Amino acid sequence: MVVFFRVAVHHRGTKNTKVTQRKLKLRYYPLHKSEPVPGSGLTTNPMDLFELTKKLIDIPSVTGDEQAAGEFLSAHLESLGYKVERQEVEKDRFNVFATTAAPPRVVLSTHMDTVPPHIAASENDEVIYGRGACDAKGIIAAQITAAEQLRAEGVNEVGLLFTVDEEAGSEGARIANAHPPASECEYLINGEPTDNKLASATKGSLRLTLNARGRSAHSAYPEQGDSAIEKLLDVLQDIRDCQWPSDALLGETTCNIGVISGGTRANVIPAEASAVLQLRLVNDANAVKSILEMVVAGRAEVEYLSVHDPIRLFTVGGFEQCVVRFTTDIPYLSRWGQPLLIGPGSIFQAHTDGEYISKRELREAVTLYAGLARSLLATAGVTHAGEIAEGAPR
Protein backbone atom coordinates (compact mmCIF):
# COMPACT_ATOMS: atom_id res chain seq x y z
CA MET A 1 0.00 0.00 0.00
CA VAL A 2 1.33 3.46 -0.90
CA VAL A 3 0.07 6.58 0.88
CA PHE A 4 0.73 10.07 -0.48
CA PHE A 5 0.56 13.11 1.77
CA ARG A 6 1.51 16.75 1.62
CA VAL A 7 3.71 18.85 3.90
CA ALA A 8 3.56 22.64 3.90
CA VAL A 9 7.11 24.03 4.03
CA HIS A 10 8.69 27.47 4.42
CA HIS A 11 11.90 27.89 2.37
CA ARG A 12 14.97 29.35 4.03
CA GLY A 13 16.89 32.24 2.56
CA THR A 14 14.02 34.17 1.02
CA LYS A 15 13.02 37.69 1.94
CA ASN A 16 9.37 36.81 1.80
CA THR A 17 8.17 33.54 3.20
CA LYS A 18 6.94 31.26 0.44
CA VAL A 19 4.75 28.32 1.30
CA THR A 20 4.73 25.35 -1.05
CA GLN A 21 3.13 21.95 -0.94
CA ARG A 22 5.47 18.98 -1.22
CA LYS A 23 4.05 15.63 -2.15
CA LEU A 24 5.69 12.81 -0.24
CA LYS A 25 5.26 9.08 -0.44
CA LEU A 26 4.98 6.63 2.45
CA ARG A 27 5.23 2.99 1.44
CA TYR A 28 3.66 0.46 3.81
CA TYR A 29 5.37 -2.90 4.16
CA PRO A 30 3.52 -5.43 6.32
CA LEU A 31 5.91 -7.01 8.80
CA HIS A 32 5.59 -10.77 8.91
CA LYS A 33 8.09 -13.22 10.27
CA SER A 34 11.33 -13.22 8.28
CA GLU A 35 9.81 -11.08 5.53
CA PRO A 36 12.37 -8.87 3.72
CA VAL A 37 11.66 -5.16 3.46
CA PRO A 38 11.99 -4.41 -0.27
CA GLY A 39 15.10 -2.48 -1.23
CA SER A 40 16.43 -2.21 2.32
CA GLY A 41 18.70 -5.21 2.72
CA LEU A 42 16.93 -5.82 6.02
CA THR A 43 14.99 -8.87 7.12
CA THR A 44 12.40 -7.81 9.67
CA ASN A 45 11.21 -10.42 12.13
CA PRO A 46 8.33 -9.13 14.27
CA MET A 47 9.27 -11.54 17.02
CA ASP A 48 12.31 -9.33 17.63
CA LEU A 49 9.95 -6.42 18.16
CA PHE A 50 7.75 -8.45 20.50
CA GLU A 51 10.65 -9.94 22.45
CA LEU A 52 12.12 -6.49 23.02
CA THR A 53 8.74 -5.24 24.22
CA LYS A 54 8.46 -8.11 26.72
CA LYS A 55 12.04 -7.70 27.94
CA LEU A 56 11.43 -4.02 28.61
CA ILE A 57 8.16 -4.73 30.42
CA ASP A 58 9.91 -7.27 32.63
CA ILE A 59 12.35 -4.63 33.87
CA PRO A 60 10.64 -2.66 36.67
CA SER A 61 10.98 1.07 36.02
CA VAL A 62 8.45 2.84 38.22
CA THR A 63 9.21 6.57 38.28
CA GLY A 64 12.30 7.14 40.39
CA ASP A 65 13.63 3.62 39.78
CA GLU A 66 14.49 3.71 36.08
CA GLN A 67 18.18 2.75 36.40
CA ALA A 68 17.83 -0.90 35.34
CA ALA A 69 15.80 0.04 32.25
CA GLY A 70 18.36 2.68 31.34
CA GLU A 71 21.22 0.23 31.76
CA PHE A 72 19.48 -2.34 29.55
CA LEU A 73 18.68 0.17 26.81
CA SER A 74 22.19 1.63 26.87
CA ALA A 75 23.76 -1.81 26.44
CA HIS A 76 21.23 -2.90 23.81
CA LEU A 77 21.68 0.22 21.69
CA GLU A 78 25.47 0.06 21.98
CA SER A 79 25.33 -3.55 20.78
CA LEU A 80 23.45 -2.31 17.70
CA GLY A 81 26.25 0.14 16.93
CA TYR A 82 24.79 3.39 18.25
CA LYS A 83 26.77 6.04 20.09
CA VAL A 84 24.97 6.18 23.44
CA GLU A 85 25.01 9.14 25.81
CA ARG A 86 23.62 8.97 29.34
CA GLN A 87 22.13 12.30 30.32
CA GLU A 88 22.30 12.30 34.11
CA VAL A 89 19.20 13.60 35.86
CA GLU A 90 20.25 12.64 39.38
CA LYS A 91 22.16 9.80 40.99
CA ASP A 92 21.22 6.48 39.33
CA ARG A 93 18.72 8.20 37.03
CA PHE A 94 19.55 9.14 33.46
CA ASN A 95 18.07 9.63 30.00
CA VAL A 96 19.38 7.49 27.14
CA PHE A 97 20.27 9.34 23.93
CA ALA A 98 21.45 7.24 20.95
CA THR A 99 22.78 8.51 17.64
CA THR A 100 24.67 7.37 14.57
CA ALA A 101 27.65 9.19 13.05
CA ALA A 102 25.20 11.54 11.29
CA PRO A 103 23.55 14.54 13.01
CA PRO A 104 20.11 13.53 14.38
CA ARG A 105 17.75 15.73 12.37
CA VAL A 106 14.78 13.59 13.43
CA VAL A 107 14.60 12.16 16.95
CA LEU A 108 12.20 9.43 18.07
CA SER A 109 11.45 9.82 21.76
CA THR A 110 9.37 8.46 24.62
CA HIS A 111 9.83 7.65 28.31
CA MET A 112 11.25 4.70 30.25
CA ASP A 113 9.35 5.20 33.51
CA THR A 114 5.95 3.74 34.37
CA VAL A 115 3.32 4.19 37.02
CA PRO A 116 3.22 1.58 39.83
CA PRO A 117 2.88 -1.28 40.40
CA HIS A 118 5.17 -3.36 38.21
CA ILE A 119 3.31 -6.08 36.27
CA ALA A 120 5.36 -8.72 34.43
CA ALA A 121 4.85 -9.43 30.75
CA SER A 122 2.52 -12.07 29.38
CA GLU A 123 1.05 -12.56 25.93
CA ASN A 124 -1.31 -14.38 23.63
CA ASP A 125 -1.44 -14.48 19.85
CA GLU A 126 -2.81 -10.94 19.58
CA VAL A 127 -1.58 -8.82 22.49
CA ILE A 128 1.22 -8.32 25.01
CA TYR A 129 0.22 -7.54 28.59
CA GLY A 130 2.15 -5.88 31.40
CA ARG A 131 2.99 -2.56 33.01
CA GLY A 132 4.19 -0.18 30.34
CA ALA A 133 2.97 -2.35 27.47
CA CYS A 134 1.44 0.70 25.79
CA ASP A 135 2.84 3.42 28.07
CA ALA A 136 5.53 3.26 26.89
CA LYS A 137 7.69 0.08 26.69
CA GLY A 138 6.04 -1.13 23.47
CA ILE A 139 6.62 2.31 21.96
CA ILE A 140 10.33 2.15 22.84
CA ALA A 141 10.58 -1.20 21.06
CA ALA A 142 8.71 0.11 17.99
CA GLN A 143 10.90 3.20 17.78
CA ILE A 144 14.14 1.21 18.03
CA THR A 145 12.88 -1.24 15.39
CA ALA A 146 11.92 1.65 13.10
CA ALA A 147 15.33 3.28 13.55
CA GLU A 148 17.01 -0.02 12.68
CA GLN A 149 14.89 -0.31 9.54
CA LEU A 150 15.94 3.20 8.51
CA ARG A 151 19.63 2.49 9.16
CA ALA A 152 19.42 -0.63 7.00
CA GLU A 153 18.16 1.60 4.19
CA GLY A 154 21.06 4.02 4.68
CA VAL A 155 18.97 6.61 6.53
CA ASN A 156 21.16 7.63 9.47
CA GLU A 157 20.04 11.13 10.47
CA VAL A 158 17.74 9.69 13.13
CA GLY A 159 18.31 9.61 16.89
CA LEU A 160 16.58 7.99 19.85
CA LEU A 161 15.83 9.74 23.17
CA PHE A 162 14.34 7.86 26.12
CA THR A 163 13.64 9.92 29.23
CA VAL A 164 12.97 9.35 32.91
CA ASP A 165 10.32 10.95 35.12
CA GLU A 166 7.65 11.62 32.47
CA GLU A 167 4.96 10.18 34.75
CA ALA A 168 5.85 12.72 37.46
CA GLY A 169 7.42 16.09 36.63
CA SER A 170 9.29 15.44 33.33
CA GLU A 171 12.64 16.13 34.98
CA GLY A 172 14.35 13.97 32.37
CA ALA A 173 12.92 16.07 29.54
CA ARG A 174 14.01 19.28 31.26
CA ILE A 175 17.57 17.98 31.47
CA ALA A 176 17.50 16.80 27.85
CA ASN A 177 16.34 20.23 26.73
CA ALA A 178 19.57 21.80 28.00
CA HIS A 179 21.82 19.42 26.04
CA PRO A 180 23.58 20.75 22.90
CA PRO A 181 22.30 17.97 20.57
CA ALA A 182 18.83 19.50 20.84
CA SER A 183 19.86 22.31 18.50
CA GLU A 184 20.65 19.82 15.71
CA CYS A 185 17.18 18.27 15.76
CA GLU A 186 14.55 19.56 13.33
CA TYR A 187 11.70 17.23 14.30
CA LEU A 188 10.84 15.40 17.51
CA ILE A 189 8.50 12.42 17.06
CA ASN A 190 7.24 11.75 20.58
CA GLY A 191 5.58 8.45 21.35
CA GLU A 192 2.51 8.06 23.55
CA PRO A 193 -0.53 5.80 23.08
CA THR A 194 -2.67 7.59 20.47
CA ASP A 195 -4.04 4.50 18.65
CA ASN A 196 -1.44 5.23 15.94
CA LYS A 197 -3.19 8.51 15.15
CA LEU A 198 -1.24 11.74 14.73
CA ALA A 199 -2.22 14.14 17.51
CA SER A 200 -2.88 17.72 16.47
CA ALA A 201 -3.08 19.14 20.00
CA THR A 202 -2.78 18.22 23.66
CA LYS A 203 -4.37 19.78 26.70
CA GLY A 204 -2.21 21.70 29.13
CA SER A 205 -1.74 20.81 32.77
CA LEU A 206 -1.80 22.58 36.12
CA ARG A 207 -0.79 20.50 39.15
CA LEU A 208 -1.00 21.99 42.63
CA THR A 209 -1.32 21.33 46.34
CA LEU A 210 -3.83 23.05 48.62
CA ASN A 211 -2.68 23.33 52.25
CA ALA A 212 -5.23 24.26 54.92
CA ARG A 213 -4.22 25.24 58.45
CA GLY A 214 -6.28 24.97 61.62
CA ARG A 215 -5.83 24.54 65.36
CA SER A 216 -5.71 21.21 67.16
CA ALA A 217 -7.91 20.44 70.17
CA HIS A 218 -9.60 17.52 71.92
CA SER A 219 -12.46 16.37 69.72
CA ALA A 220 -14.84 16.40 72.73
CA TYR A 221 -14.42 20.20 72.73
CA PRO A 222 -14.42 21.15 69.05
CA GLU A 223 -15.11 24.81 69.87
CA GLN A 224 -11.56 24.98 71.24
CA GLY A 225 -10.05 24.07 67.90
CA ASP A 226 -10.30 24.89 64.21
CA SER A 227 -10.58 21.94 61.82
CA ALA A 228 -8.22 22.18 58.85
CA ILE A 229 -10.05 19.28 57.19
CA GLU A 230 -13.39 21.08 57.30
CA LYS A 231 -11.77 24.21 55.86
CA LEU A 232 -10.24 22.14 53.06
CA LEU A 233 -13.52 20.37 52.32
CA ASP A 234 -15.30 23.73 51.94
CA VAL A 235 -12.62 24.93 49.50
CA LEU A 236 -12.75 21.70 47.49
CA GLN A 237 -16.54 21.86 47.22
CA ASP A 238 -16.32 25.38 45.81
CA ILE A 239 -13.70 24.22 43.32
CA ARG A 240 -15.97 21.34 42.27
CA ASP A 241 -18.78 23.85 41.65
CA CYS A 242 -16.53 26.18 39.64
CA GLN A 243 -17.16 26.92 35.98
CA TRP A 244 -13.91 26.40 34.09
CA PRO A 245 -13.02 27.59 30.55
CA SER A 246 -13.82 25.54 27.45
CA ASP A 247 -12.40 25.45 23.92
CA ALA A 248 -13.92 24.39 20.60
CA LEU A 249 -10.99 22.09 19.76
CA LEU A 250 -9.82 20.86 23.18
CA GLY A 251 -13.16 20.70 24.98
CA GLU A 252 -13.63 21.33 28.70
CA THR A 253 -11.13 22.16 31.42
CA THR A 254 -11.31 19.33 33.95
CA CYS A 255 -10.19 19.13 37.57
CA ASN A 256 -9.24 15.95 39.41
CA ILE A 257 -8.88 15.91 43.20
CA GLY A 258 -6.31 13.14 43.27
CA VAL A 259 -5.03 12.98 46.86
CA ILE A 260 -6.47 14.16 50.20
CA SER A 261 -4.63 13.88 53.50
CA GLY A 262 -4.89 15.35 56.97
CA GLY A 263 -5.39 14.80 60.66
CA THR A 264 -3.77 12.36 63.03
CA ARG A 265 -6.63 10.50 64.74
CA ALA A 266 -10.39 10.66 65.28
CA ASN A 267 -10.21 12.22 68.76
CA VAL A 268 -8.08 15.19 67.68
CA ILE A 269 -9.32 18.25 65.81
CA PRO A 270 -6.97 18.33 62.76
CA ALA A 271 -4.52 21.22 62.54
CA GLU A 272 -3.41 20.45 58.96
CA ALA A 273 -4.94 19.08 55.79
CA SER A 274 -3.91 19.06 52.15
CA ALA A 275 -5.10 18.00 48.71
CA VAL A 276 -3.29 17.48 45.40
CA LEU A 277 -5.22 18.54 42.29
CA GLN A 278 -4.53 18.32 38.58
CA LEU A 279 -6.40 20.43 36.06
CA ARG A 280 -6.32 19.63 32.34
CA LEU A 281 -6.19 22.98 30.60
CA VAL A 282 -7.70 24.15 27.32
CA ASN A 283 -6.43 27.74 27.46
CA ASP A 284 -3.88 29.97 29.17
CA ALA A 285 -2.79 28.65 32.56
CA ASN A 286 -2.67 32.12 34.11
CA ALA A 287 -6.38 32.58 33.47
CA VAL A 288 -7.15 29.32 35.30
CA LYS A 289 -4.83 30.27 38.16
CA SER A 290 -6.75 33.53 38.59
CA ILE A 291 -10.08 31.69 38.78
CA LEU A 292 -8.66 29.15 41.24
CA GLU A 293 -7.16 31.77 43.55
CA MET A 294 -10.39 33.73 43.53
CA VAL A 295 -12.34 30.61 44.55
CA VAL A 296 -9.85 29.64 47.28
CA ALA A 297 -9.99 33.21 48.59
CA GLY A 298 -7.16 32.81 51.08
CA ARG A 299 -8.77 29.88 52.92
CA ALA A 300 -5.87 27.59 51.93
CA GLU A 301 -2.34 28.03 50.66
CA VAL A 302 -1.92 27.27 46.94
CA GLU A 303 1.40 25.63 46.00
CA TYR A 304 1.88 25.18 42.25
CA LEU A 305 3.85 22.03 41.36
CA SER A 306 3.91 22.11 37.55
CA VAL A 307 2.21 24.06 34.80
CA HIS A 308 2.16 24.29 31.04
CA ASP A 309 -0.28 25.61 28.49
CA PRO A 310 -2.02 23.52 25.79
CA ILE A 311 0.14 22.58 22.80
CA ARG A 312 -0.73 22.76 19.12
CA LEU A 313 1.40 20.10 17.44
CA PHE A 314 3.05 19.84 14.02
CA THR A 315 1.08 17.58 11.68
CA VAL A 316 1.31 16.23 8.14
CA GLY A 317 -1.42 15.07 5.82
CA GLY A 318 -2.24 11.44 5.14
CA PHE A 319 -2.58 10.45 8.82
CA GLU A 320 -5.75 10.05 10.83
CA GLN A 321 -5.59 12.78 13.45
CA CYS A 322 -6.86 13.22 16.99
CA VAL A 323 -6.76 15.58 19.98
CA VAL A 324 -5.52 14.12 23.27
CA ARG A 325 -6.29 15.23 26.81
CA PHE A 326 -3.16 13.89 28.46
CA THR A 327 0.18 15.66 28.77
CA THR A 328 3.61 14.53 27.57
CA ASP A 329 7.30 15.47 27.68
CA ILE A 330 6.81 17.70 24.64
CA PRO A 331 6.39 21.04 26.49
CA TYR A 332 9.75 20.46 28.17
CA LEU A 333 11.56 19.49 24.94
CA SER A 334 10.99 22.81 23.20
CA ARG A 335 14.55 22.98 21.75
CA TRP A 336 14.22 19.63 19.92
CA GLY A 337 12.55 20.93 16.78
CA GLN A 338 8.96 20.72 15.62
CA PRO A 339 6.98 18.30 17.84
CA LEU A 340 4.84 15.45 16.53
CA LEU A 341 2.94 12.98 18.72
CA ILE A 342 1.94 9.45 17.66
CA GLY A 343 2.12 5.94 19.08
CA PRO A 344 0.47 2.52 19.28
CA GLY A 345 -1.98 1.52 21.98
CA SER A 346 -4.91 3.17 23.72
CA ILE A 347 -4.62 5.69 26.54
CA PHE A 348 -7.63 3.91 28.05
CA GLN A 349 -5.39 0.90 28.69
CA ALA A 350 -2.50 2.91 30.13
CA HIS A 351 -2.12 2.84 33.94
CA THR A 352 -4.62 -0.04 34.29
CA ASP A 353 -4.09 -3.47 35.86
CA GLY A 354 -4.81 -5.07 32.49
CA GLU A 355 -2.57 -2.79 30.40
CA TYR A 356 -1.77 -4.26 26.99
CA ILE A 357 -0.55 -3.48 23.49
CA SER A 358 -1.81 -5.05 20.28
CA LYS A 359 0.87 -6.85 18.26
CA ARG A 360 -0.79 -5.60 15.09
CA GLU A 361 -0.52 -1.99 16.31
CA LEU A 362 3.13 -2.50 17.25
CA ARG A 363 3.92 -3.67 13.72
CA GLU A 364 1.97 -0.76 12.25
CA ALA A 365 3.81 1.68 14.51
CA VAL A 366 7.19 0.56 13.15
CA THR A 367 6.00 1.36 9.63
CA LEU A 368 4.47 4.68 10.71
CA TYR A 369 7.56 5.84 12.61
CA ALA A 370 9.92 4.87 9.79
CA GLY A 371 7.71 6.38 7.10
CA LEU A 372 7.16 9.59 9.04
CA ALA A 373 10.90 10.01 9.65
CA ARG A 374 11.68 9.42 5.96
CA SER A 375 9.13 12.00 4.91
CA LEU A 376 10.31 14.62 7.41
CA LEU A 377 13.91 14.10 6.36
CA ALA A 378 12.82 14.68 2.78
CA THR A 379 11.93 18.29 3.71
CA ALA A 380 15.65 19.22 3.72
CA GLY A 381 16.54 22.90 4.06
CA VAL A 382 13.16 24.13 5.25
CA THR A 383 11.97 25.75 8.43
CA HIS A 384 8.53 25.98 9.93
CA ALA A 385 6.82 28.92 11.55
CA GLY A 386 5.70 28.77 15.15
CA GLU A 387 7.32 27.67 18.40
CA ILE A 388 6.09 26.14 21.61
CA ALA A 389 6.78 27.56 25.02
CA GLU A 390 8.83 25.52 27.43
CA GLY A 391 6.95 24.29 30.50
CA ALA A 392 7.31 26.32 33.67
CA PRO A 393 9.49 24.91 36.47
CA ARG A 394 7.86 22.33 38.70
Domains: count for the chain: 2
Contact by Cβ (8 Å): 159, 181:
yes
Residue pLDDT, tens place only, 288-305: 999 999 999 999 999 999
Residue pLDDT, tens place only, 302-319: 999 999 999 999 999 889
Task: Judge if 20 and 125 occupy the same domain.
Answer: yes
CATH of the domain at 263: 3.30.70.360
- What residues make up the domain containing 84? 2-202+311-383
Residue pLDDT, tens place only, 227-244: 999 999 999 999 999 999
- Catalytic annotation, residues: 166
Residue 394 belongs to some domain of the structure: no
Residue 114 belongs to some domain of the structure: yes
Measured CA to CA, the distance from residue 29 to residue 58 in angstroms comes to 29
Task: Judge if 219 and 340 occupy the same domain.
Answer: no
Among candidate residues 283, 308, 333, the one where a domain is terminated: 308
Q: What are phi and psi of 252, to 5 degrees?
A: -95, 145
The pTM score is: 0.81
Task: Judge if 35 and 144 occupy the same domain.
Answer: yes
Task: Judge if 284 and 328 occupy the same domain.
Answer: no
Residue pLDDT, tens place only, 235-274: 999 999 999 999 999 999 999 999 999 999 999 999 999 9
Measured CA to CA, the distance from residue 139 to residue 178 in angstroms comes to 24
3-state DSSP assignment of residue 62: strand
3-state DSSP assignment of residue 211: strand
Task: Judge if 234 and 247 occupy the same domain.
Answer: yes
Task: Judge if 300 and 317 occupy the same domain.
Answer: no
Among candidate residues 254, 289, 308, the one where a domain is terminated: 308
Task: Judge if 185 and 236 occupy the same domain.
Answer: no
Among candidate residues 308, 330, 360, the one where a domain is terminated: 308
Cα-based distances in Å from 394 to 90, 208, 360: 16, 10, 38
Residue pLDDT, tens place only, 332-347: 999 999 999 999 999 9
Residue pLDDT, tens place only, 172-197: 999 999 999 999 999 999 999 999 99
Residue 393 belongs to some domain of the structure: no
CATH of the domain at 7: 3.40.630.10
Task: Judge if 27 and 153 occupy the same domain.
Answer: yes
Task: Judge if 198 and 240 occupy the same domain.
Answer: no
Task: Judge if 95 and 175 occupy the same domain.
Answer: yes
